[in-house]
């Protein structure tokens, strides 16, 4: 199963969509985050690290709500799983915050 990320390419930040294969369980969590209005982005930094972000509109502004950094390579898959799981936790916290203000 795949999760779609917007990848920013060096040197000028061009965008392309990439799909990262993960387990059906992780993909289901990612779909829930995306359906709620979130999205995922990634880029390779000049240090050789991969930056993975979960983004969401908070208080009317697009924000990175979860960030995972790792060396670009085999470790990326494990960090995608962490990113997705933490993005759901972030979404639940935001929903709780909104419900408390109502």
Query: What domains sit in the chain, N to C, each tagged with a CATH number?
Result: 2-101 (3.30.160)
Provide mean pLDDT across the span 61-79. 96
> What is the torsional sign of CA 88, 85, 43, 65?
positive
- Is the predicted pLDDT of residue 95 greater than 90, yes or no? no
Please check whether residue 2 is in contact with residue 22, taking contact to mean a CB–CB distance below 8 angstroms. Answer: yes
**Per-residue confidence (pLDDT) for residue 42, from 0 to 100:** 98
Provide mean pLDDT across the span 92-101. 80
Among residues 5, 43, 33, which one has the least CA distance to residue 95?
Answer: 33
Q: How does pLDDT run across 24-47, given as a tens digit for each residue?
A: 999 999 999 999 999 999 999 999
Mean pLDDT of the chain: 94
40 CB-near residues (< 8 Å, 6+ apart): 3, 4, 5, 6, 30, 33, 34, 52, 53, 54, 55, 83, 84, 87
**Per-residue confidence (pLDDT) for residue 43, from 0 to 100:** 97
**Per-residue confidence (pLDDT) for residue 15, from 0 to 100:** 97
């Amino acid at each position: 199963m795949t999760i779609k990320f917007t990848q920013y390419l060096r040197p000028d930040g061009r965008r392309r969509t990439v799909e990262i294969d993960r387990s059906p369980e992780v993909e289901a969590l990612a779909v829930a985050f995306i359906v709620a209005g979130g999205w995922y982005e990634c880029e390779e930094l000049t240090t050789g690290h991969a930056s993975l972000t979960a983004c969401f509109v908070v208080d009317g502004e697009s924000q990175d709500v979860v960030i995972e950094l790792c060396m670009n390579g085999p470790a990326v898959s494990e960090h995608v799983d962490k990113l997705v799981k933490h993005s759901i936790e972030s979404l639940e916290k935001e929903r709780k915050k909104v419900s408390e203000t109502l």
